[in-house]
Amino acid sequence: MALHRLNPAAPDSPALTLANTADVALLGEEIGRLNLIVLQFPKFTDGRAYSQARLLRSRLHYRGELRATGAVFLDQLPFMLRVGFDAFESEQKGFGEALARARTLFSVVYQPAEDGRTPVSALRLRAGEERATLHQSCVAPSCFSSHSLRCSPPP
């Protein structure tokens, strides 16, 4: 299997390979000693390793390399990146190029996840707060242009 990594310098050991039926919550404090956890996708239709990855990153705060192996295909890449995978074993042709494109495939995301991207709802809220702050500073009637309701900068 060809290995594709976001961080080529990541160490390979100590490592742990988990079946997709394993309860990752049982790893406990051992998780802090691991540099690599390999999660298995035994077949395309079995997505339990997505849940394992999300739990490892969000609840257990695992920061080492998280590698997907088995039935790992190009069309899964954006979703695997969202839950926290950062290394992939795949023989599929064009996988490396697809990995480079997958990180920017979607311009916005709707749910918070483990890839650090800000959901569109938070972006909208932030933009609304910035507009509210701008308009709160415009309280004098002279602040408004006579031709529009837009706030004009003070003279």
Residue range 48-58, pLDDT digits in tens: 999 999 999 99
DSSP string, the chain: --EEES-TT----SEEEE-TTS-GGGGGGGGGG-SEEEEEE-STT--HHHHHHHHHHHTS---SEEEEEES--GGGHHHHHHHT--EEE---TTHHHHHHHHTTS-S--SS--TT-PPPHHHHHHHHHHHHHHHHHT--SGGGB-TT-SSBPPP-
Residue range 8-35, pLDDT digits in tens: 888 788 899 999 999 999 998 889 899 9
Domain ranges for the chain: 3-102, 118-155
CATH topology of domain 3-102: TIM Barrel (3.20.20)
Report the percentage of the chain scoring pLDDT > 90.
44
140-149 long-range contacts, CB within 8 A, separation 24+ = none
Q: Which two tokens stand for residue 64?
A: 């080492």
Q: What is the pTM of this model?
A: 0.74
